[in-house]
Amino acid sequence: MKSHKTRIYPNKEQIKLLEKCFGYRRFCYNRGLALWNDLYSNGIKPNNYLIRDKCKRELKEEWEDEYIPIILDSAIEDLSEAFARFIKGKGGKPKFDSRKKGKFRFRIYRKNNSTIRIIDDKIILPKFKEAIKLAETPRFKGIIKNYTITKTANKYFISFIIDTNEEVIVRKSTNRYTGIDLGVKDFATLAYDRKKKSTKFLRVKKFNYPKELLTLKHKIKKQQKILSKKEKGSNNYNVMKIKLQNSYLKMNNIKGDFLHKLTSMITKRFDVITIEDLNVKGMLKNKYLSSSIYEALFYKFKEFLSYKSKWYGNSLVVADRFFPSSQICSSCGRRKKGTKKLKLNERIYKCKCGLKLNRDDNAAFNLRQLGVKFLGLA
C-alpha cells in the first residue's frame, strides 16, 4: 500500500458541495459517538455494524439522496478504529468533532468501479456533476483502494491509498552501514564507512532553507499578533486566520520536503541503518530545548525512514531507549558514569585512551557499531 497526496482545484459550486460533505461526515461521526456512548452506558457492547445500521435508520431518505452514502460508512469505521486504539492504550478516548476546531475531511472507499473514477487529470466524485481537477495524477500504478479529501486553510487536497501489489524494490547492495545521532544543534550526524581504520562523518544541518524558515517564523509571529487583536468571528479575523494557516502550511511543506529528501538519500545509500529510540515526550519537558525539539520533527524522521527502509529492503535497527550512545568511548568501549557523565553543554568527548572526538560523531559511530553487531556483520 502506498499513498500519494496532491492538491485539487474545485470550482465555486464544487466547494459548496465539499463543505456540505465535511459537515455531513462530522454529523455522522458525532451521532455515531453519541450512540456508542449510550449503548455502552446501558451495558450493550457496541460495534461498527450496529452503530452504522442505527445511524442509517435515523437519517432521512433525502439525506442519502443529497450526500454520498459511503461518507457515513467511513465515518463510523474511523470511530470504531479510534475506540480500538483507545482500548489498546494507543490513544485517548474519542471526542466529538468541533465545527470550529475540528478537521475538515471525508473518506471515500472503493465499493465498485464507479465509486473511484479518474479521467486524465480529473477525478469524478459520487453525486458530483462535474469532475474536479487534480494537480497531478497518482504517481503509483495499481488499484486505488480509497481516497481522503481534506481542507487546510483555503486549499483542498486529496490523498490516495493505492494497492501497488509490489514486492520490495530490488536495488544493488552498497555494503555500507550507518549510525544516525539526532540532535538539537545539527539535525543529524551520520557515521559510516570504516575503511583502513577511518570513519567518515556527515553532519546534516537542521533544514536546507534556513533563511526562508526564519522569514516565515517572523511572519507567523507578526500574523499571530495581528490576529489576537481582531474580533473573533469577524471577516477580518477569518481573513487573517487563513493567512496564518497558509504560513504554517508553507512551513510544514518546507520541513516535509527536507525530511523526504534526507530519508530517501539515506535509504538509497546504506544497507544497514541504526537510529536511537528517542523519548520525545520526555525531551519536550525540558523548557530550554522544548521548542527546538518540537520543531525538529524527530518522530516524522523515524516514521519516514521506517517505511522507506521497507520499500528498499534496508535493515533498520532501532537502539534501545536507554543505550548510552553519547557516554561510551567508540575506541575502547569505556563508559562515563556518575559525576563523569558528559553534560549537554560538553561538545567534545575525551577518554583516557586518548580519544578526542565530537560527542555527536562519537554517538553516531557507537550506534553504527551496535547495528553491525546486532545483525552479526562485525
Task: For residues 182 and 360, give the distance between their C-alpha atoms in angstroms, rounded to a whole number.
Answer: 8
First to last CA, the chain: 34
Task: Check residue 208 and give its pLDDT.
Answer: 56
Q: pTM to 2 decimals?
A: 0.82
Note whether residue 168 is domain-resident.
Answer: no
Q: DSSP letters along 180-222, please?
A: EEE-SSSSEEEEEEEETTEEEEEEE-S-S-HHHHHHHHHHHHH
Judged by average pLDDT, the poorest of 62-66, 84-88, 328-332, 354-358 is 62-66
Q: What is the pLDDT of residues 30-49, one digit of tens each?
A: 999 999 999 999 988 898 88
Higher pLDDT, 108 or 339: 108
Task: Check residue 168 and give its pLDDT.
Answer: 59
Task: Check residue 65 and give its pLDDT.
Answer: 66
C-alpha cell at 377: 556483520
For Cα atoms 141, 142, 143, give the angle at the middle one, nearest 5 degrees: 145
Q: What is the mean pLDDT of residues 239-250?
A: 93
Average pLDDT, the chain: 86
Note whether residue 169 is domain-resident.
Answer: no
Half-sphere exposure of 115 (CA within 13 A, CB side): 15
Show the domain range for 81: 2-163
Whether residue 106 is found in the same domain as residue 228 = no
Say if residue 298's pLDDT is above 90. no
Whether residue 112 is found in the same domain as residue 239 = no
Say if residue 196's pLDDT is above 50. no
Say if residue 79's pLDDT is above 70. yes
Task: Check residue 37 and give its pLDDT.
Answer: 93
Run of H or E including 51: helix 48-58
Task: For residues 229 and 235, give the distance between their C-alpha atoms in angstroms, rounded to a whole number.
Answer: 13
Q: Give the number of domains in the chain.
A: 2
Q: What are phi and psi of 278, to 5 degrees?
A: -80, 140
Note whether residue 215 is domain-resident.
Answer: yes
Whether residue 297 is found in the same domain as residue 327 = yes
